[in-house]
Structure formats: structure tokens, C-alpha cells
Chains A and B, each alone.
Chain A
Amino acid sequence: MHELNWGLPVILYLFLAGLGAGAVTVSGSVLLRKGGFHDSRMDIARYGALIGPIPVMLGTFLIVFELGQPFRALNLFKMLNLSPMSIGTWALALFIILSGLYAICFIPRQATWPWLGKARRVLAWLCVPLGISVAIYTGVLLGAMPARPFWNSPILAGLFVLSALSTGTAAIMLMVALFGEKSAEHREGRENDQYLLVSSDALLLGGEMLVIFLFLMFAHLTIGDVRHAVEVILPGGSLASLFWWGVVLIGILFPFVMELFQVVPKLLYGRTFRSSLVLEVAVALSVLAGGFALRYIIVVAGQVTGPTTL
């Protein structure tokens, strides 16, 4: 067994930063799409903005203290070079500051003062690209190393963005389900919100399935290091059961089928969208669990495999 230079703190960081960046990105996109002044869908934008920065900060705290020299972390800001970790650090720092301000703008539910609505929009314009950068750079960071065949693929960054957006959406879904306006007069708005979240999440999970399929297929069809590396998640490999049960079944297939089950009647037959609290919570939790399992598998698999010939 190889030693793991990057362990649980890094795995948690990848998961939490992806989730938070995804939630803020979804929030910002929804806000900008709706002009930011309408009450409907305000819950999505508001909960996304409010919960997003917390996991990102928590994850950042974890990796700073995972460093061999935690108190040297400021050395990262002494320069900007082409290392994905350097670019990512700057993006992460900017994102933490701006998404924090963005969250503060959402503490009052109504944008009582006109400038508040404007501030929300300006910050949303900044937080969406930064959120995507935070979600993507970790995939580029891992993907950049020929020494790590399991990671060394451009598709990893794509997988990380999709996983970040879908876990972020799931987190918002959970918040809206648990704390959203439940009064009768808001019923329609709430159902619209959930429809938007559930259908987007289904799309994102579909994308994840496609990317994972491509990843497995290319790795399996190739020869040498990459093929040897991917064997750890193929049946018989040491991480196979967590991958197939945790990521594929619980993290993707179950929520995907449940979401289709909710979305399709409205999408195809124009029926009213109906959802239940239990289903929303179950779907959101399984997406979150699957997102964590995915990061776990990728970080570990990359380190227990390596070049096969000297």
C-alpha cells in the first residue's frame, strides 16, 4: 500500500470547496437570470448565497492546517506562477472575500434599499466565474501530473465542475426543502423553485454519468499506466465497491432516477409538479454523499497507483 501524502483534509477540502463554490455559482446564475428583483426564486439565490461560503472557508481551514508548514501559507501570496495551485489559491482567496460579501447582501431577505439589489447583482457577476474557477482548478491541479496516471486527464476537471455544481444544487435543494417559505401563498413559487433545482440537478447528474463513462471507457481501452491505474475502481479493484455502490448507485443513479420521476410528468405531459419533503431530502442527501465518495475515490486512487514501468 502506498502512503497517502494527501489524506482526509484534502479530500474534504475538494468536496467542501466544490460544494460551496457550486452553491454560490448556482445562486448567482439564478439571480442574474431573474434580474434579481423578483421574489420567486429568491429562495434559491438566497440559500445558495448564504450557505456557499461556509463550506469553502471550512475546507480552506482544513487544507491550511494540512500543510507541512501551515503558518507559511502566506508564501502562496508572494507570487503568481503557472502552477494550478498558485492560480487556484488566488482565485480561492478572491472567491472567499467576494462570496462572503455576496452572502452578507442576502442577510435581509428583501432588497429594501435599491443599492442592495444592485450590489447583489454586481457580486453575482463576479462570484459566478470565480466559483467556476474554484470548482475547476482542483481538477486541473490533479490532472496536471504525468506521474499520476489516474488523474492525468483533462476530463477530471470537467468531472469536478459537474460534481461541484450538482452537490451545490443539492445543498440548496436541502435548504429550500427544510427552511424555505412553506405558507400556502408561496406554494407555487416554492414548487417552481424545486422544479428548477430538481431538473438542473438531473441534467448535472446526467453530465457526470457521461463524463464517468468516457473516463472509464478511455482508460479501459488504452494500455499501460492509465489502464493499470483505472483497474482499482473496476470490478475486483480495491476501491471498486465504494465506487460502484457509493458513487454510481447512491450518488448518481438513485437521485437521477428519482429526479426524472419528479420532472418528467411536468416536462413531457404538462402536469403540475409535485414533490414531497422526504423525497427532496433523500435525493439531496444521496447527491451529497455521492459527491464526497467521488472525491474520496479520486484522491485515493490517484495515490495508490503510479507509473508501472521504470
Chain B
Amino acid sequence: MNDQEKPDTSRRGFVQLLAGGAVAATAASALGSLAPAGGAESTAKQSRIQYGMLIDTRRCIGCHSCSVACKAEFDVPLGVNKSWVEYTEKGTFPNVNRHFLPRLCNHCSEPQCVAVCPTGATYKRPQDGIVVVDSGLCIGCKYCIQACPYDARFLNPVTNFADKCDFCIHRVSKGLLPSCVNSCIGGARIFGDVNDPESEISRQIAANAVTVLRPGKGTEPNVYYIEADITEEAENSDGSYRVRVSTHRSIKERR
């Protein structure tokens, strides 16, 4: 039974964990005598979906179609964003350069927001790896907002729940692309299952040098970038050249 699907690490209720463990053990012993190991389970693991996004920043023109599409899709209140674009401006005239970095929740494989949520409201869906907030459970304690290393979350000022990008579950489950991907005029966003080696996103990830953001935080993001410029303002501390990082969010700095 080594190939058994990794237990769902979300909704890690202590009680549920214990209960789940007992059920799994019973099931394992029952199945062990009936079915040969491997087989069904290993296919199950391979077919387990982890949705992800690949953002090719070379194709991004900083037009904010994604930001606007996301706002419109969810009626995201003023002052907060699920999807945003950061500008990195570098150099001194005439040798200047401007780079765009579209941002959203990374739907991490080791999401810190899930680890800290005291009610189990934030969890990683076992069927597709999307990290979601269950508004029926969320108490708005903001622990997850503090814990996310990407500042991807916010307290929705209308509902007072924690909120963030949900990879447009309502569209994706109907076979549509997420709104920001659909609207991207540069074709900079590729959405798909990163666990399926045949998918477009997996092939692009394999064929390009890709990075994730803040890999040192151990969150294992599922949003990948091609040529992401991650220069920080602090890097021009000696004043030799200019760096300015800004966003259109209500808080202008990168956090």
C-alpha cells in the first residue's frame, strides 16, 4: 500500500486525523487481503490534479487585463486585489528597463495559510490542489493573512472573511480557463495541471528555465514564472542605479 494517495494535509482536524487514520488502517488491512498492491492506487496518484499557472513575463505588457478581469469576475471590493501586477523600474536614463510581474495566490503545496488556520476554513482541496477559504467556517482572525509569505490574502472588507484568488474554481470546474488567463492579451498565462506531464503547462515548465517566488519559505508554490525580475528596491542602496518597485494596489510597496 505504499502507493496510497498521500493523506490530505488540509483540514487537519486532530480528531479527524485520528479518525481518518483508523479508517485508513482498516481499509488498508481489508484491501490488503483482497487486492494486489499498486494497480488502482498508483494510477490514482498519477491522476491527482494539481492546478498551477505559468506566467511568461516576457509576454506581459503590464496592461492589467488580468487585474480587471479578476475584479469583474468576483466583484472584488475597492482597495483589495486577488490579482495584481508589480512594476520594476531599473537603471538611469537612457539605460532603463521596466519589467512586469503579475501576482496571485501560489496555491502552494505546503501552504502556510492552511497550517495556521484555527478553524479549518482554509484548506487545500484534495481533488485539484486549489487552496480555498470556506466562508462558512472563517472567523476573520487574519492569522492566514499574516502567515502567507506572498501577501496574497486580505480581509474582504464587504464580507469580513479572508479572501484571495481561488483559481476561478467556478470556471475551471466547467472546463473554462480562469478569468485572468482568458483575458490575458499577451498570452502570458498558461493554466493547467502541473502533475500531468502531457499538459501544456508541464511541457512549458520542462522546456524553460522557471522560478517560483520566495522559494526559501518552503511553501512550494504552484505558480511558476519565466524570467521573473525579482530585483528589490533595497538593491540600489549604494545609489549606483535606480530601482523602483511599485504596484497599483492600495499599498504601493511590494510586501
Interface set of A (CB-CB < 8 Å, partner B): 2-3, 5-6, 67-69, 72-73, 75-76, 78-86, 89, 141, 144-148, 228, 302-303, 306-310
Nearest CB to that of B141 among chain A residues? Answer: A67
Q: Is the CB of A147 within 8 A of B147?
A: yes
Q: Is the CB of A78 within 8 A of B119?
A: yes
Q: Is the CB of B251 within 8 A of A3?
A: yes
> Which 8 A-B residue pairings sit nearest by Cβ, starting from the closest?
A68-B140, A68-B160, A85-B118, A147-B149, A86-B118, A310-B230, A83-B118, A72-B139
List 15 A-B residue pairs with CB atoms under 8 Å apart, sorted by A's residue number: A2-B255, A6-B142, A68-B138, A68-B162, A78-B120, A81-B13, A81-B120, A141-B143, A145-B116, A146-B218, A302-B146, A307-B214, A309-B214, A310-B213, A310-B228
By secondary structure, the B interface counts as loop
B15 within 8 A of A: yes
Complex Cα distance, B78 from A116, in Å, reads 59
Nearest CB to that of B211 among chain A residues? Answer: A310
Q: Is the CB of B139 within 8 A of A79?
A: no
B115 within 8 A of A: yes
**Known interface pairs A80-B14, A83-B118, A85-B116. Does A69 touch B217 (Cβ–Cβ under 8 Å)?**
no
Q: Is the CB of A147 within 8 A of B148?
A: yes
Residue from A6, A69, A86, A306 in contact with B160 in the complex, judged by beta carbons closer than 8 Å: A69
Within 8 A of A (CB), among B179-234: 213-214, 217-218, 228, 230, 232, 234
Residue from A69, A89, A144 in contact with B116 in the complex, judged by beta carbons closer than 8 Å: A144
Residues of A within 8 A of B117 (CB): 81, 83
Residues of A within 8 A of B138 (CB): 68-69, 72, 75
Residue from A78, A303, A307 in contact with B149 in the complex, judged by beta carbons closer than 8 Å: A307
Complex Cα distance, B108 from A146, in Å, reads 14
Nearest CB to that of B235 among chain A residues? Answer: A309
**Known interface pairs A80-B14, A310-B254. Does A148 touch B146 (Cβ–Cβ under 8 Å)?**
yes
Shortest B102–chain A CB gap in Å is 13
Interface size of B as a range: 35 or more
By secondary structure, the A interface counts as loop
Residues of B within 8 A of A5 (CB): 142, 145-146, 155
Q: Is the CB of B139 within 8 A of A69?
A: yes
Within 8 A of A (CB), among B1-28: 12-16
Complex Cα distance, B141 from A84, in Å, reads 13
**Known interface pairs A5-B142, A81-B12. Does A308 touch B234 (Cβ–Cβ under 8 Å)?**
yes
**Known interface pairs A147-B147, A310-B230. Does A75 touch B137 (Cβ–Cβ under 8 Å)?**
yes
Complex Cα distance, B215 from A310, in Å, reads 9
**Known interface pairs A307-B217, A310-B254. Does A89 touch B118 (Cβ–Cβ under 8 Å)?**
yes
Shortest A299–chain B CB gap in Å is 10
Shortest B111–chain A CB gap in Å is 11
**Known interface pairs A72-B140, A146-B217. Does A82 touch B12 (Cβ–Cβ under 8 Å)?**
yes
